[in-house]
Every structure is written in structure tokens, then in C-alpha cells.
Amino acid sequence: MEVDYSTEAAVVEGNLRLAEIDRIISRPIEERPGKKYLLALSISSSFLLIGAICVGLTFFYGVGMWGNNQPVGWAFGIVNFVFWIGIGHAGTLISAILFLLRQKWRTGVARFAEAMTIFAVMTAGLFPIIHTGRPWLAGYLTPYPNQHGLWVNLNSPLVWDVFAVSTYFTISLLFWYIGLVPDFASLRDKTISKVKKTIYSVFSLGWRHSNRHWQHYEKAYMILAGLSTPLVLSVHSIVSFDFATSILPGWHTTIFPPYFVAGAIFSGFAMVVTVLVFVRKVFDMENIITLNHLERMNKIILATGMMVGYAYGMEFFIAWYSGVQYEQFVFINRAFGPYAWAYWTMVSCNVIFPQLFWFRKIRRSVPAMFIIVILVNVGMWFERFVIIVSSLHRDFLPSSWGMFVPTLVDLGILLGSFGLFFTLVLLFAKTLPVVSISEIKAVAPGSQPSHAGNHNE
Amino acid sequence: MSEVKESLKNNLVPEKVEPTYWKSFKELHNSNEFIEASHHEFKDGVTDEFELSKLSHLSRRKFLALLGASAALAGAGCADYRDKGEIIPYTKKPEEIIPGKANYYASFSNCCKCRCGILIKTREGRPVKVDGNPDNPVSQGKICAKCQASILGLYDPERLTSPLKKARNGNFEKISWKYVDSEIRNALLKSNGKGIAIIAHTINSPTALSVLEDFRKKYPNTRIYSYELFSEEIKNSAWKKCYGDSQFPLISWDKAKVILSLESDFLGSEGNHIENARLFSNGRDVNNTNKFNRLYVVEGNMSLTGMNADYRLRLRPDAQFEFVMSLLNEVGRKINVDVAGNYKLSSFAKKYSLSLKTLKYIIDDLMKNRGAAIVYAGNSLSEKTHIAVNYLNEILGNKNLYRNETVSLHPYSTKDEWSELVSSMNSGRVGAVIHFDSNPVFHLPSDSGYKHALQKVDTVITLTELESETSLLGNYTLPVNHSFESWGDAKTRTGFYSMQQPVISPLHDSRQKEAALLCWIEKDDFEYKENLYHEYLVKNWQENIYTGLKAGLPFKQFWLGALHDGVVIFNENIPSTAGFNNSALADLNSTADVSGFAVVLKESYSIGDGRFANNGWLQELPHPVSKVTWDNYAAVSQATAKELGIDTNDYIEITIEKRKLKIPVLVQPGSADKTITIESGYGRTKSGTIGTGVGFNTNVLLTSAYGLSHWLFSSAQVKKAGGSYEIVTTQEHQSFDIELLKDAAQKRGIIREGTVNEFLKNPHFLHENSEHKLDTFYPEFPYKDVKWGMAIDLNKCLGCGECVVACTAENNVPVVGKEQVKRGREMQWIRIDRYYSGSVEEPSVSTQPMLCQHCDHAPCENVCPVAATTHSPDGLNQMVYNRCVGTRYCSNNCPYKVRRFNFFNFRDNFNDGYQLDNIFSLVYNPEVTVRSRGVMEKCTFCVQRIMEAREIATREKRKLRGYDVKTACQEACPTNAIVFGDSNDKEAELSKYRNHNLGYHVLEELNVRPNVTYIAKLRNTHTEEV
């Protein structure tokens, strides 16, 4: 196939005028919600309600409502936590790292991905609290001065988690909000509703699109991008320390930090693609969130999928190479033991199916990529399940071995976490611009001065 | 600095002295400003707003008075404080009660016929723990799990609280004792013409017997029946035929060098197994390896005894006769004694595919150790097998291992007596039946017709603690005292009497069962007094027993001494064994018919004959071999399971003649083919919330017209019954055929074993291949004073599980129920791990008590985010319940998985808050926190006992020593396999074990530095390999 590398592919397609871009992006916010939207919202909020009921049951009766037991102290709760934290990785990666690398194409998807990050981290953040035996004492996990002279145990990775996740959440939220400020101003200027105008005025912090504002804005954005970049890498590294610093075979592995980060980006991008496939269709944004965007993300999925696959292989190699029989047993047990089905689900979803993205046609086919990214989402959930449950259920002493079977409450909370996430995503799509209005204008064809001087307008 | 001060002092304020302590430079330098300021009480500005007129008109005095008055009003007026009549603070403190300090009283328990001596620990007058009485010559400070758990029976919320009488509509209604007494007196007088039957378990109290005699004097047509579901009846009758005496003797297990046990679980459930275990383990001392005994076990199903065998053969129990005859023939040929029959060991071995090598070892060992070997047959074997075994011991000259110390005060009723009773009941010749704390409707064979006949009796009185199958069929259900509320005496052996005394006044409106009888012999206007039986007991002792003892003490002194000690030891002749009566040998000429399936019924390890069905601690105690809780099952071999086309949990139907039982199976490694072993006591249809409907009632298989014995049936038919059940275990079923899982514990070095020969040849064999020393780059923590440690001798540990119940009782461990055990949430702090190795047919079994190892580098501690588990300066891994949030990270990171999490408030969760009952909570040890839900817990090395010992040591101004503390598991271990103490004390017994050549740590290579040393098990085989 011939590709013309001499000119850069347009980020925004269809020769849109700037006013048109404004209109396309702000239309979902201005129009009344349609039937499809309300249907989607009612489904996701029903899931949320199921989840809320199950969490209520857990709070009332105890964690015993879940399937956790003696060898398997952590199961769905922590699986969901790590899964959602992973989902929350694409957003910041796209906005911060790709921003620093001057990848223009990021603009089309950055806002949405960032929003997903925030919602995913919010969803994830619930789990460490609800999985504890006495959630009303979860405050003990934060260091606060008290007359007992008690302090958190800074040796424990769970405390590092608290810091890592809350920092990540704060920075992501700020980053997202800073990006939103000029858009709030645009919306404020456009709207005729008084209520909306007041709200947008408050959130736009008096933005007047002045040169000075833009100068400050660019600097602040750059600084936050610089701050977020190490966080993208650190959060999941620290989450992986929960496992890597323990002595449990199958957890105690030095490969975990990079492996977890790659996995997180992998699953994060898969989730972004899953959602954007719908968003661009429903909101007629195919010209702004183009197939090129999706293809690029699919390439990242392919790359990170192979990193994850490498990690799977390396874990086995190290288990064999270490000569530690517990380690060897855990991996053989993973692949051939009672949870082998989960292991092979994980391997096929995460390593085998993404290989189809080597083909350009599949990379650019929306239905094909949708199926693959859904499989990746499933696979990445199972990856955490395999790591956590299959390592715990048979560890050192054969006498303590056991099996984990999830209960309905476990499944309800898992469902509820999706309900929460998608409810937030849906609300976001209807209340805030899903693509950065100001930034997309900057990358629209013709917005940059060029030698040729051929303005498309 | 000092120069400056000096100059300041000299130049500026020479007249002032430099203050020693100073708060500011101004004060230090004694500036004028400071001196000026120090004359004012308050700093400038502080009192500016102080205006007298603006202050409250209340004076301080008035305010305090009002405060006091309102507090008093709130306290007295608003509180619903009713005078309950009993809650009075000690104005005169009872002499012996010091709040916070435990008192111990010697007594014995009624939980089985052994009448083991106990010490009951009471706190503020409330019994909280039972342990063995060290002064008792038999139990010597050790008791079984049932006895440990009997304290829960005292506080069982479902104990009868008052007498019940069956109303016309069939329901039981409350009635007062006064009416009960007069009604029953009338009924008894009325039925005097006919007959009265008293049905009791074993009667071994001389005074109770005398009460029964008095009762018979008043009502001459009274007959007393006594029974046990499991007894030595057949063994005794065989003994009588051989030696004339009606009691099979005790065995000096400690003197036996070779033990051949045939279908006998003498270490687990037969006889006084606590005593047996102690004597047996004397021959398993790693510090005296030359004197190791050797245990051969030939049995149909893996029993606790079989687990501890050096050599084990599996043989269906109805073939045991043939086996003994083959042994007799073989031995007879060697020592030129004529023996009936023409049995050959080699052909027998071939017939049942037994290892000929092992059989040869048996013969050799028996021949080599004549006089120091014992062949011991199980209670369930047929009479002629017992005769053959007696004869074998006779010709081998093993008679000196017999101790004729057993005493029987009242014989069990015979088959004929029972059938006569039933027929007279049926024909209306029995006017009243008194169930003397017995449950014959559940225990007696259904074909005896007892249940049916009971309906023909006018007055049926059941004296019992809990309602039962029997009490439901009677007219009166009368509550009796628990043994901790009772007086009593017992004579079970020669040479001593045991004494029982109450440690708490009856919790409910109950009476001691003997007192009830005493009350009914009196006239109608007789008023019951609580000390009725007490007075009778004292009188009986003073008049009848004391005089015979020649104690040389005034009676009062003697009596108080007897109660204090719990035993009265005196000189009594032990009869010697008479000569063998050769006429008994005539029975040996018959041959045994071995066909179909063999079915054996055994007493349950935990709940006995069903008496303890309502005891949650015992129901939840895992079976020592299969680790099953809350159920009984049919144990079958894998080959038999295959033949029947079934697997664990599938139902089978057993048919013996016309009696049928549908029960799920469990594939038990080491079971003999075509043999089905079931434990009895389960399947109670009327017990409490806990015991009703747990397991399957095997008593439906019993018959009064048995062939081999009560408990052993040959030619049974067994077929798959369809459907399945869920048997719940605390340990996964072990895999024998997957190479990865096979012998995992051995491959991982969790279980390390050797043989006696190997050890004698090379005492260092265990550590020869061990890896280099494990280092740490952290500085070692200096444990200055005491550092707690434990050693567990796996040579002595039999895997019985007494420690589990003791720990449960000491540490307020909740009962979680079958449903939660199924989920893997049992809460016991100590567990007995059981590992099979070898083949599924002939497995070798290893047991290992597993509890918190209190690691020096505890991996649980550094992962807890809130520092809720920490290390103490005396080496304990501590749990701070109040701080625990419940992340369960510690449990995940514990390589031994000994931490237990309160997934629910189990006390609330199990059976609708059964354990939250007010009465139930009396059982809790006041020194141990009752944990809430969401909290992690684990073994504390009985920290409450350590703290108590520390307090005592501090008060006595001495150092705390390791031997000051005994943990609950250590105290309970019948074989003293657990040693606890100060590992810094080089002289202590613990050091002997910790530095023993056979000592090892489980998962040493993780370098977590556990503080529990295990002493590797030595198997006393002929070769050097295991």
C-alpha cells in the first residue's frame, strides 16, 4: 500500500470550519437528551443501584458476603481495584505524555480519556474502602495526628497506595480542569441560558481568551503535564508493589512494576477505544475523533499487549530459572490447575487476539476493533484475577489450600462498578465538551501558519 | 556560653542568683522586665474583661452542688434499675474469691464413663475452663476434647430450664417441681405392683448405686438397666471365657516394645484413650531413641491409631479372625504349641494381598519381644477373635503387660434382659420407666422395639439436660444438673475414688438426678432441699466408705481433703491374671464367613455416642484423619468407590438384612476394600439448634440379634443410591495421582521424617543437606529477657485435636457452622495438618499442628498499613484488634496461613445469633477479648497467661521464667508433645528441643525466622528408609 509520508495526515477531517467545530462539540451539551441516551443512562444507573445494594449488604453484614476465605483474603475487591486503576491510565498517558511528545492527534481523544481516568480512579478508589473488614475505620489508613500517637505503617505498600492513588487523582483532576477552563469560557460565551451562563462563568474563572491568559494557561498545562507523566508510571508501579513486596510466590516478582504499567496502558486504551467507538458515532464526531485516532490507539494496544505477553512468558521463565519450587508450582498451577480456565482466558484475550491488529484492515475496522478491545478488557480483568486468586489459593502449605468461589454480591459489586463508571461517563458526555474545543481548533487544518500559506478556509 | 553568662551575671544584675531552670532568656538574664512581670498573676490584658457583675450568679459551691444533684437525679431517676435481689456487692467478701483471680476446683466430668479427674477454673464464681487434674492417677492432668468442651454444655442456651410435662395435646408444658414430685410419687406407688425400670448409662458411682438401692427398697419391683452404645462388652465376655474374670484388663502400653493393634483405635476412641496416648508416647521419646516402641496396625479404615503406625496393613475387619488364627498357627509352630485349625500366613497374605514382608516382621518382632509385646484387638471384633488374641498373648507370655485395675460396679444389661424388658413393657407389666440421663430411643437398636414399647408405659420420666429423642416420647422431661453443678463420687479403677463437687449453683431450675430419686422415695410432704444429695453423699461416705479406707484422719478433715484433691488414693490389691482356661479354645474351631461388604460402626471422635451433638466446639472440631466437620460419612477405599461407581459426596445405600442406611461416602486413603466404616452419634432427630439433623443416624443398622458384634457386620449389601451430599472438610482432599501435587508436603520440606535406625546411625541426618546459613542485613533485635518459643515433638503428636478444643475454650474462638467451614472460614487458631504420602492404597500419614509461628521477621507485620500487628520485645507477634481495619493483607502474606479473619460477626451469624445468648456468653474467658467482625485474629501464645505470670513475677519481685507459663494447647496435649518457654533460657526444657538434632522449622528458607520448632518424626521401621 502506498502511503504519502511527505505530508502529515490531517487530525481533523472533513475540512471543518472553526465555527462548525464549536457547534459539533457543544451540540450534545445544548440539546435535550434523546431516548437512546436516557436508555443508556437508565441501564448504567440500574447497574449502579445493584452495586450500591450489594455494597450496602456488605457494610451491613460484613465482608463475609463475598466469596473471600482463608487462603484467598483478596479477591474481587482488589481485582476490581487494580482493574479500574489500570483503566485510569490511558487518559493521563494521552494527555500528558503524548502532549509532551507533541503528538497532535491526542487532542481529539484527550479530553474524553482524561475524564475516563478520573471516573475510573473514582471507581477504583471505592474498593480499598469497601473491601476492608471495618470500612468505618478506613480513616486509619491516612496519617493524621492523634492523641494516641498512632501513625500509619510506612513500610506497608497499602499506605503507599493511598498516597499514590490520591496524588494521581488530584493531579489528573487538576489537569483535566485546567484544560476545561478555556472551553468553559467558550460555552459561557455561546449560551443564552442564564443559569448555564452563571455556572460556566464560575468554572471559567474569568477567562477572557486574552493573550496573557493563554500564556499562563500553556505554562500551567505544561507543568501539570510534566507532573502527571511520572505519575502515570508510578501509580501502577506502586499498585504492583502491593504484590511485588509480599513474599507470596506468584506475587513476589521484580517484573511487576513495568508489567503492571504496560498492562494498565493496554487496558486503559482498550477501554478508551470501547467508549469512543460509541461517542464518535452517537455525537457525529467522526471527523474529529477519526479512524486515524482509533488506529493509532490500536497500535498502542498491540504494542502494550505484546509487552504484557512478554511479561507472562518472563514470569514462567523466571519461575523455572529461580529454581524455587513454590514459584514453579504456582505457575504450573496457574496454567494447569483449577483456575487454568481463567489463565487461558487471560492469555488468549490479552496476547493472542490483539495480534490481529497487525492487519491494517482490522485496525481500521470499527466492529473488529470493538470485539478485540472488549476481549482485552475481559482479559485484563482476568489477569488481575489470575494474579491475585491463583497465587493465593495454593501457596506454601498444602494444608491451607482452598478454592475461591464468588458470590452474587461479588458479581453485583463488579456490575455496580461498571454502572458507576458508565453513569459518570454518560453524565460527562452530556454536560461537558467531550473534545477540547480550544485545542482541537489549534490542530485543525489551516490553523497553523505554514510556508505554503494555503488556508483551507 | 558560660563566659557570657558569667559576665551578664556580674555586670547587669549582680544581686540576682542565676535560676537553675529557665523558660526564657528574660528569665535567664533576670531582666527587670521579667521581675516586674512576675509580680502579676496574669499577663497584661488577660484580666481586662473580668467584670464581677457580668459573671454568673452561681457560686462555685452552688454550681458543684447542682452538678452533683443533677448527676444523681439522672443516675437514679432515669436508669431502669430494678433490684434483682441478687446483685449485691460484697460487703463481706467471700474468703476465697478475689476479683480477677481464678480459683480452681477438683472434680470429675460425667462426659463419659472414664470419669477423668478435672480441675475447673472459675472466675468470680463462674466456671470458664476445664483442664485435667494432675493428682488423678489415671488422667494425670490431661482430658479429652469432649471433656474440654463440656463447659460449653453447662452454658448451652437450650438446656432445660424447668420441668416439663406432656399436656393432652402432646406439647410439653412447664410445671413446677412440687407438682412433679407429688405426681410422680403417686405414679410410682401406683405402678409399684407392676414394675419400674430405671435406664442408665454406666453406673460407677458407689453412692449413686446406693441411691438406686434405696429406691429399690421403697419400690421393690424396680429394675435397673444400664448400657453404653460403645463398650468393651465383647472383649469382656471373651476375657471371662479365657480367664474367668469379667473385666478385660488395662494394658501397660509404656512397657510394650511391640504393639500389634487389630482394628483397635486405642489412641483415638477406645478405652481411656487419653491414658493410652500418654503411656504409648512414653515409648516415643526422641531423647531415648533406643527405647522406641514399634506399632503395627492392621485395620479396615484409617484411624487415629493407624495414622501413627510404623507399619500398617489394611484388612477388612471380618477377616481379622482368620488373621489372628494365621498368626497363632505361625507362632504355635515356632514355639511348639498346638493351635486349632490349619491357617497359613502366606496364603492369608495372598488372599488379602497383604505385604508378606510386613507380616514376617510382625512374627519376628512378636517372637523376639516375648513378654514385652502386646496384641490388642478392637472392641468391635467378634468374641472368638478376642479369644484368639488372648490366647496369642498367653502363649507369647505377654501377660505381664496386663493390669487388672478395671472396676465395674454394675454390669451392663444383657441382650436377654433387654428383650425381657421390652416384652414386659409391651404386655403392660411395666408401670413406669425412668431414663436416668440416658437416651435409649436413639441408642438402642430399632428392632429391639423399645421405642414402640415405651408407648405402652403409663409413666415415662426422662431426667436429662437437653431434650432428646427419648424425652419426646415420655410424660415428664425433668432437667438435671450439669456435672459442674453436681456432687458425686466414682470408682473406675482399683486404688482410688474420684470425687465430684459443684463449682456453681444450678443455673436453672434443675436437680441432680440422684436427688430426684431420693426425693421420690420420701413421703408426700417431703420438702426438696438443694443439698439433699450432698448430705446423702457425705453420710454414705462417712458410714460406708470412709470406715473401710482406714485413712487415719478425722472424717471432716478427710472429706475436705478428698474434695480438695478430687481423688482418694488408698491401698487396694490388684488381682493378678488367672490361668488361661483352655476350654475357651473350642470357639476357635469355627471358621469365619467373609463375604459381601464389611460394615463397622465406630464411636465418633468428637461427639461420642451423640451425647455431645449439641456442642458446637465439638461439631466443628475436624475429624483427626479426614478433617471432616459437622458430619459423619461412610469411609470407603478408592477401589471400592470405583467398583460402586461413586466418588466422595455420592450417596450409597447399605443394606444389612432388612436394615437400610443411606449415607454419603468419603474416599478414605488407606481403607481396606469392601469395607465401610461409619462413625456413630450423628443424625440426632431431637437435639438442640446445633445438633439436630447433623449427619446420619447409623444406629438404624444396629440389631439386638447380632452375629459378629454390635458394631461389625459382614455380608452387607451396598449400592449406589443416586444423588449427592456435601461433606465439608477443613483441608482439601489430597491428590495422589497428579505428580505435581503428590507428596507436596514432603517435597517442600514441611514434613521431614526419618527412621530410628537412620537417626541412631547418623544423628545429624536431618540437616546434612540443608542449605547455607540464611542471613539478614537488618540488625538483629536484642531480645534481652524472656523470648517466647515453642517446640512441638511430632513423634509424640498423635493428631488427636485435643489442643484445638482447648484453644477454642481458652481464647473465645467462635463457632462458624458448616456453611462457613465449607467456604474455608473456620476460626480455630491451631489446626492439625494431615498429609498423606505414598500410594492411595497404603498411604503413610504425617500430622503437624500448625499455629502462628511468631516469626522474628514476621511477614504479616510489615504489610499492615495501620500497624495493627506488631512485635513485642519478648518475641510475640501481637494483634491489636482495636486498630485492625481488616485489609487481610497480613493473612495473604502469612506463609503458614494461620491468621483467621472475622468475615462476619460469627457469634451473630451462626444460627440466628445462637452464640449471642446471655447464657452462652458466660463461657467466655474474661481475660480474652471477644473479637468483632472485620478483625483479623490468630494464636497469641496465650498472651493473657503470659501477662498473668508476669504480674505474679513482678509482685513477687523476681524475674519471669519460661516455665511460669503454660499455653492452653500445651496443657491439653495428652502426650506432652508441646513444649513452651523462654528460648533465651539455655537450661530450659525448650532449649533441649530447639537445639535438637531433629529440630527444624517449617519454611525455614523464607528466613522469616519462625519460633515454633518441630521435632522431626522418626518411624521405627526395620530399614533406614521411610
Q: A336 vs chain B: nearest CA distance in angstroms?
A: 10
Q: What share of chain B is helix, strand, coil (3-state, %, to 5)?
A: 35, 20, 50
Residues in B closer than 8 angstroms to A141, CB to CB, are 865-866, 885
Q: A386 vs chain B: nearest CA distance in angstroms?
A: 15
What's the pLDDT tens digit per position in B295-324? 999 999 999 999 999 999 999 998 999 999
Asked if B464 and B220 touch (Cβ cutoff 8 Å), the reply is no
Residues in A closer than 8 angstroms to B891, CB to CB, are 70, 73
Amino acid found at B302? M
Residue of B nearest to A396 (CA): B895
B626 shares contact with chain A (CB less than 8 Å): no
Full 3-state SS string of B12-31? CCCCCCCCCCCCCHHHHHCC
Residue of B nearest to A331 (CA): B740
Amino acid found at A280? R
| Measured CA distances, B860 to B207, B348, B863, B869, B871 (Å) | 57, 56, 6, 7, 10
Asked if A125 and A193 touch (Cβ cutoff 8 Å), the reply is no
Amino acid found at B892? N
- Which of A73, A242, A405 faces B891 most closely, judged by CB atoms? A73
Residues in chain B: 1026
Residue with cell 513482678: B954
Who wins on pLDDT, A17 or B268?
A: B268
Q: A428 vs chain B: nearest CA distance in angstroms?
A: 33
Residue with cell 461413586: B646
Q: Could you tell me if residue A60 is inside a domain? A: yes
Contacts of A55 (CB under 8 A, 6+ apart): A126, A130, A413, A416
pLDDT attached to residue B14 = 47
d(CA B563, CA B7): 84
Q: B751 — alpha (psi -120 to 50), left (phi > 0) or beta?
A: beta
- Which of A73, A156, A159 faces B892 most closely, judged by CB atoms? A73
A332 shares contact with chain B (CB less than 8 Å): yes
Q: Do B897 and A162 touch (CB under 8 A)?
A: no
Best mutation target, B774, B846, B885, B1004, to test chain A (most A CBs within 10 A): B885
Asked if B231 and B408 touch (Cβ cutoff 8 Å), the reply is no
Q: Do A64 and B747 touch (CB under 8 A)?
A: no
A153 shares contact with chain B (CB less than 8 Å): yes
d(CA B271, CA B858): 43
> What is the dihedral sign for C-alpha B241, B247, B253, B255?
negative
d(CA B651, CA B1021): 39
d(CA A117, CA A231): 13
Going by their DSSP bridges, the two strands B978-982 and B936-937 should be labelled as: unpaired
CATH number at residue A46: 1.20.1630.10
Best mutation target, A70, A127, A408, to test chain B (most B CBs within 10 A): A70
CA angle A261, A264, A267 (to 5 degrees): 150
> What is the dihedral sign for C-alpha A275, A276, A279, A281?
negative
Sequence-ordered alpha helix ranges (H) in B397-512: 415-426, 440-443, 450-454, 469-472
Cell of B190: 401406683
B889 shares contact with chain A (CB less than 8 Å): yes
Q: Do A134 and B933 touch (CB under 8 A)?
A: yes
Going by their DSSP bridges, the two strands B753-755 and B936-937 should be labelled as: unpaired
Contacts of B305 (CB under 8 A, 6+ apart): B261, B264, B265, B266, B267, B268, B295, B297, B299
C-alpha R_g of chain A: 23
Q: Do B891 and A246 touch (CB under 8 A)?
A: no
pLDDT attached to residue A13 = 72
Q: Could you tell me if residue A376 is inside a domain? A: yes
- Which of A64, A159, A325 faces B865 most closely, judged by CB atoms? A159
pLDDT attached to residue B315 = 93
Q: Could you tell me if residue A195 is inside a domain? A: yes
Residues in B closer than 8 angstroms to A72, CB to CB, are 824
C-alpha R_g of chain B: 34
Which 728-757 residues of chain B touch chain A by CB within 8 A?
731-732, 734, 740-741, 744-745, 747-748, 750
Q: Could you tell me if residue A8 is inside a domain? A: no
Q: Do A248 and B886 touch (CB under 8 A)?
A: no
The answer to whether the pTM exceeds 0.90 is: no
- In what helix (H) or strand (E) does residue B520 lie, and over which residues does it extend? helix B513-521
Q: Could you tell me if residue A19 is inside a domain? A: no
How many structural domains are present in chain A?
1
B859 shares contact with chain A (CB less than 8 Å): yes
- In what helix (H) or strand (E) does residue B312 lie, and over which residues does it extend? strand B311-314
Q: Could you tell me if residue A410 is inside a domain? A: yes
Q: Do A132 and B934 touch (CB under 8 A)?
A: yes
A398 shares contact with chain B (CB less than 8 Å): yes
Beta bridge mates, B609: none
Residues in A closer than 8 angstroms to B750, CB to CB, are 396-398
d(CA A390, CA A384): 10
d(CA A260, CA A89): 11
d(CA A156, CA B878): 17
Residues in B closer than 8 angstroms to A389, CB to CB, are none
Asked if A86 and A380 touch (Cβ cutoff 8 Å), the reply is yes
Interface size A-B, in CB pairs within 8 Å, comes to: 172
B888 shares contact with chain A (CB less than 8 Å): yes
Sequence-ordered alpha helix ranges (H) in B55-169: 60-78, 145-154
Which 189-228 residues of chain A touch chain B by CB within 8 A?
none
Residues in chain A: 457
CA B74 to chain CA centroid, nearest Å: 49
Asked if B1023 and B755 touch (Cβ cutoff 8 Å), the reply is yes
pLDDT attached to residue B736 = 79
Residue of B nearest to A401 (CA): B732
ipTM summary value: 0.91
d(CA B696, CA B52): 86
Q: Exposure pattern of B24-38 as b/e (b: 16+ CB <10 Å)?
A: eeeeebbbeebeeee
- Which of B748, B833, B885 faces A133 most closely, judged by CB atoms? B885
d(CA B982, CA B789): 6
Residue of A nearest to B743 (CA): A398
A328 shares contact with chain B (CB less than 8 Å): no
B839 in helix, strand or coil? Answer: coil
Helix B145-154 vs helix B802-810: angle between axes, to the nearest 10 degrees?
Answer: 30
Q: B732 vs chain A: nearest CA distance in angstroms?
A: 6
- N-terminal to C-terminal alpha carbon distance within chain A: 31
A343 in helix, strand or coil? Answer: helix
Residue with cell 468470680: B124
d(CA A348, CA B737): 29
Cell of B587: 470357639
d(CA A12, CA A440): 8
Which 52-71 residues of chain A touch chain B by CB within 8 A?
61-64, 67-71
d(CA A41, CA B625): 56
Beta bridge mates, B312: B297
d(CA B731, CA B327): 38
A140 shares contact with chain B (CB less than 8 Å): yes
Which 703-732 residues of chain B touch chain A by CB within 8 A?
731-732
Q: Do B887 and A395 touch (CB under 8 A)?
A: no
Residue of B nearest to A133 (CA): B934
Domain membership of residue A401 as a residue range: 33-440
Best mutation target, B734, B736, B836, B863, to test chain A (most A CBs within 10 A): B863
Q: Could you tell me if residue A420 is inside a domain? A: yes
Strand order through the sheet with B172-174:
B172-174, B164-166, B476-479, B459-464, B432-436, B196-200, B222-226
Closest CA to B890 of B925, B914, B865: B865
Closest CA to B264 of B331, B329, B315, B196: B315
B947 shares contact with chain A (CB less than 8 Å): no
Q: Which domains does chain B have, with CATH numbers?
A: 1-65 (no CATH), 164-226+410-482+503-535 (3.40.50.740), 233-403 (3.40.228.10), 595-729 (2.40.40.20), 765-1019 (3.30.70.20)
What is the residue-wise DSSP string for B645-706?
Answer: T--TTEEEEEEETTEEEEEEEEE-TTPPTTEEEEEES---SSS-TTTTT-S--GGGG--SS-
Q: Do B896 and A397 touch (CB under 8 A)?
A: yes
What confidence category does residue A433 fall into, taking pLDDT thresholds of 50, 70 and 90?
confident
B491 in helix, strand or coil? Answer: coil
| Largest interatomic CA distance in chain B | 126
Which 528-567 residues of chain B touch chain A by CB within 8 A?
none
d(CA A168, CA B656): 72
A138 shares contact with chain B (CB less than 8 Å): yes
Q: Could you tell me if residue A28 is inside a domain? A: no
pLDDT attached to residue B15 = 53
Q: Do A62 and B848 touch (CB under 8 A)?
A: no
Q: Do A62 and B936 touch (CB under 8 A)?
A: no
Would you tell me how many other CB atoms lie within 10 Å of the CB of residue A385? Answer: 24
pLDDT attached to residue B12 = 47
- Where chain B has pLDDT below 50, the residues are 1, 4, 7-9, 12-14
| Measured CA distances, B319 to B207, B237, B411, B715, B744 (Å) | 44, 20, 30, 12, 34
